[in-house]
Chain A
């Protein structure tokens, strides 16, 4: 019987063979099975007995082939159980040919969902297998791969199905499930913050990385959390890509597993490097990959460990993370939009009326951590000073849906017919390079942002005013010196 092991995000075919021979009753699993996989013995035995089937009192050997591929986790339980039942002729052996299976067994025989069911189902589809047995909770997820999912609640159901005694509810093939509801807070709740809103809109339209800097309590995080709400929904292909990653980590909601809206991830600043970029002995994807096609928010950016921040440079550049481990190498997609927030100094007082009380040494260490190379990845930097009370009672703010429409229109324009630089804008840029000492990368960044601004304005040409506005989001010298 077939199932699939995960190597990174790739399914690898695993054949599960069971052999019964005479001798002292025993049960062995061979084929580089890890601890969780070895423990399948106990679950499978209890599961079969609980399903009122017969546990063969023979010498049982289960082989997971190929023998040199490491198998991890509990997703092989169901397959092993079915292989043993077929070997002991409790289900017709021929019936397994057209099936693959994935799922964990409970001691009472129930079938539990496991992470990565979507990837397993995709492997099955590529091998031309049409039916995948899985836990009822994984049914919709498995169906996304374009195979018929056979949702079973209990091992007994799986057996009845194999014997032809029982049919599951109509198979859901290739269904998208229900559209996922966006649970993102709305921009209408943010009062004032004209500058921040504008920057958020530009960032959304041009997929620019955004840095919000200012004293605590000025609404940096509040604003950042509202970015996903103004991003256009994912295309079908993108959605599957994202869903695959989330499936492996077991993050998918049961009812509508397809991740149709851009994901939003906000790891805490104490997160380790493997947690952010992926890794582990598996290796499994990290937050950067979970934010693929969506938003990665690093709140209190300078508080993250320096190696973690540096490790983000590869995905920011290439859109992928490649993790090499002794047991294998995995490449995870990680094309996320980075949004970061930070205080202007370690004590947070800078930019506030109270003033900063940091020592020079502490300030120097703070700036050292924010390496130029990393700061340079932010296309938009917005300083957010403390607002005066008068601004806070601004009313009648735009809702996210309205902004999203403009973002969508701008994206369409950027893809089909990106605005070109006018001579005036070019002259201003040259002038600015000299006077504002922009680096080469800084120059390219300003030009990119200006193009997005022009697209938002709906014009085909980048004007002087678009470029001037883009310049206002450059990295302020006080952040780097």
Chain B
């Protein structure tokens, strides 16, 4: 197999991201692939990381953060892994915004393979970067090292969902060591998937309640709000109910007093308007 020679940055290159240069152990070389400009590595950036096996809640939060932060002009940095990472990249791509995937293998390797298409889309508007030469295979010990680059590139790191002893917590540790802002998304105390993030909150991480929290830390302005939706009465009512907490169709039937047919139709309306998302039969506001 022939290995395409990729351009790379060294620590002395012009354009080597200053934030990354400031960490304890900056990579000697940074290989890059993609259409995005090298400048996006030096702009305001936020790392969004979390567990691979995320819940629908985690997936939705990651995507929303990716979308809104990218729309406000922050570069979304993550690791192209399953779960939270992929959702963050997808969110940023939805906003057409800059996004950077830091790999734990050569930049010509698509890992995980299931994300080959996502990697291609990231490369179309953003960058895939790695400290490893092209052709280097993924290996378990490379991922913690990769995490220091993710944390190093970003001014703020958001942990969306993490079990106790999740790899995402390693990223948070790196960010703290480098003196960066660390946010944790609060989760239900009954969910094992939120154990790690809630633990972080106890240790003093900033709770992330809305995307603005991160934007303020990065010194960015909020993107202009989307146009308000024009909804039918039923859809508006369901939106109010969903604002309390996520719910299944059956629960919404119970609480709204509408029939199952009306609720189903109104939810589709809400979904099409971008006001709600559904996972595994449970709806939540987006």
Q: Can you list 16 A-B contacts with CB-CB less than 8 angstroms, sorted by A residue number? A: A192-B254, A193-B250, A195-B248, A198-B260, A364-B114, A387-B248, A391-B250, A394-B254, A436-B272, A465-B265, A468-B264, A469-B261, A472-B249, A473-B264, A476-B278, A478-B280
B45 CB–A CB distance under 8 Å: no
Question: Which B residues from 238 to 276 make CB contacts under 8 A with A?
Answer: 248-251, 253-254, 259-262, 264-269, 272
Residues in B neighbouring A214, C-beta threshold 8 A: 280-281
B191 CB–A CB distance under 8 Å: yes
A147 CB–B CB distance under 8 Å: no
Question: Which A residues from 355 to 370 make CB contacts under 8 A with B?
Answer: 355-356, 360, 364
Q: Which residue of A lies closest to B281 (CB)?
A: A383
A231 vs B262: C-alpha distance in the bound complex, in angstroms? 24
Q: Which residue of A lies closest to B267 (CB)?
A: A472
Contact pick for A478, options B52, B251, B272, B279, CB 8 Å: B279
A468 vs B262: C-alpha distance in the bound complex, in angstroms? 9
Whether B268 and A472, one on each chain, are in contact in the complex, defined by CB atoms closer than 8 angstroms, is yes
Give the shortest distance, in Å, between B48 (CB) and chain A (any CB).
20
A353 vs B112: C-alpha distance in the bound complex, in angstroms? 27
Chain B interface category by residue count = 20 to 34
Q: Which residue of B lies closest to A471 (CB)?
A: B268
B282 CB–A CB distance under 8 Å: yes
Give the shortest distance, in Å, between A291 (CB) and chain B (any CB).
27
Q: Which residue of B lies closest to A479 (CB)?
A: B280
B10 CB–A CB distance under 8 Å: no
A384 CB–B CB distance under 8 Å: yes
A140 vs B264: C-alpha distance in the bound complex, in angstroms? 48
Q: Which residue of B lies closest to A352 (CB)?
A: B280
- Which of B193, B261, B278 counts the most chain A CB atoms within 10 A? B261
A28 CB–B CB distance under 8 Å: no
Residues in B neighbouring A382, C-beta threshold 8 A: 281
Whether B280 and A355, one on each chain, are in contact in the complex, defined by CB atoms closer than 8 angstroms, is no
A464 vs B268: C-alpha distance in the bound complex, in angstroms? 11
B212 CB–A CB distance under 8 Å: no
Q: Which residue of A lies closest to B59 (CB)?
A: A478
For chain B, what secondary structure do more than half of its interface residues adopt (helix, strand, loop), or is it mixed?
helix
Whether B260 and A195, one on each chain, are in contact in the complex, defined by CB atoms closer than 8 angstroms, is yes
Give the shortest distance, in Å, between B260 (CB) and chain A (any CB).
4
Q: How many A-B residue pairs have CB under 8 A?
A: 90
Decide yes or no: A195 and B253 within 8 Å by CB, A355-B55, A432-B272 being known contacts: yes
Give the shortest distance, in Å, between A203 (CB) and chain B (any CB).
14
Residues in A neighbouring B261, C-beta threshold 8 A: 198, 453, 465, 469
A355 vs B266: C-alpha distance in the bound complex, in angstroms? 28
B22 CB–A CB distance under 8 Å: no
Residues in B neighbouring A344, C-beta threshold 8 A: 280
B228 CB–A CB distance under 8 Å: no
A267 CB–B CB distance under 8 Å: no
Residues in B neighbouring A268, C-beta threshold 8 A: none
A387 vs B266: C-alpha distance in the bound complex, in angstroms? 20
Whether A360 and B268, one on each chain, are in contact in the complex, defined by CB atoms closer than 8 angstroms, is no
Contact pick for A195, options B55, B264, B269, CB 8 Å: B264
- Which of A214, A473, A478 counts the most chain B CB atoms within 10 A? A478
Whether B280 and A472, one on each chain, are in contact in the complex, defined by CB atoms closer than 8 angstroms, is no
B190 CB–A CB distance under 8 Å: yes
Residues in A neighbouring B282, C-beta threshold 8 A: 351, 385
A326 CB–B CB distance under 8 Å: no
Decide yes or no: A350 and B265 within 8 Å by CB, A355-B192, A387-B248 being known contacts: no
Q: Which residue of B lies closest to A197 (CB)?
A: B260
Give the shortest distance, in Å, between A269 (CB) and chain B (any CB).
22
B53 CB–A CB distance under 8 Å: yes
Whether A472 and B264, one on each chain, are in contact in the complex, defined by CB atoms closer than 8 angstroms, is yes
Whether B248 and A468, one on each chain, are in contact in the complex, defined by CB atoms closer than 8 angstroms, is no
Residues in A neighbouring B53, C-beta threshold 8 A: 355-356
Decide yes or no: A391 and B254 within 8 Å by CB, A353-B190, A355-B192 being known contacts: yes
B29 CB–A CB distance under 8 Å: no
A350 vs B280: C-alpha distance in the bound complex, in angstroms? 8
B109 CB–A CB distance under 8 Å: no
A188 vs B198: C-alpha distance in the bound complex, in angstroms? 44
Give the shortest distance, in Å, between A306 (CB) and chain B (any CB).
20
Whether A469 and B264, one on each chain, are in contact in the complex, defined by CB atoms closer than 8 angstroms, is yes
Residues in B neighbouring A213, C-beta threshold 8 A: 281
A195 vs B262: C-alpha distance in the bound complex, in angstroms? 11
A398 CB–B CB distance under 8 Å: no
A57 vs B283: C-alpha distance in the bound complex, in angstroms? 84
Q: Which residue of B lies closest to A432 (CB)?
A: B272
B180 CB–A CB distance under 8 Å: no
B121 CB–A CB distance under 8 Å: no
Q: Which residue of A lies closest to B261 (CB)?
A: A469
A390 CB–B CB distance under 8 Å: yes
Contact pick for B281, options A192, A351, A364, A453, CB 8 Å: A351
A435 CB–B CB distance under 8 Å: yes
Q: Which residue of A lies closest to B246 (CB)?
A: A385
Residues in A neighbouring B268, C-beta threshold 8 A: 432, 468-469, 471-472
B82 CB–A CB distance under 8 Å: yes
Decide yes or no: A472 and B265 within 8 Å by CB, A391-B250, A431-B272 being known contacts: yes
Give the shortest distance, in Å, between A480 (CB) and chain B (any CB).
13
Which 3 pairs show the lowest CB-CB distances between chains A and B? Answer: A383-B281, A468-B265, A194-B260
Residues in B neighbouring A195, C-beta threshold 8 A: 248-250, 253, 260, 264
Give the shortest distance, in Å, between A121 (CB) and chain B (any CB).
47
A469 vs B271: C-alpha distance in the bound complex, in angstroms? 12
Whether A387 and B250, one on each chain, are in contact in the complex, defined by CB atoms closer than 8 angstroms, is yes
Question: Which B residues from 93 to 141 make CB contacts under 8 A with A?
Answer: 112, 114
Whether A351 and B114, one on each chain, are in contact in the complex, defined by CB atoms closer than 8 angstroms, is no
Residues in B neighbouring A355, C-beta threshold 8 A: 53, 55, 191-193
Give the shortest distance, in Å, between B242 (CB) and chain A (any CB).
14
Question: Which A residues from 406 to 456 make CB contacts under 8 A with B?
Answer: 428, 431-432, 435-436, 453
Residues in A neighbouring B190, C-beta threshold 8 A: 353
Whether A198 and B264, one on each chain, are in contact in the complex, defined by CB atoms closer than 8 angstroms, is yes
A89 CB–B CB distance under 8 Å: no
A388 CB–B CB distance under 8 Å: yes
Decide yes or no: A194 and B281 within 8 Å by CB, A431-B272, A465-B265 being known contacts: no
- Which of B112, B114, B251, B265 counts the most chain A CB atoms within 10 A? B265
A431 vs B271: C-alpha distance in the bound complex, in angstroms? 12
Give the shortest distance, in Å, between A89 (CB) and chain B (any CB).
75
Question: Which B residues from 132 to 191 make CB contacts under 8 A with A?
Answer: 190-191
Question: Which A residues from 193 to 246 make CB contacts under 8 A with B?
Answer: 193-195, 197-198, 213-214
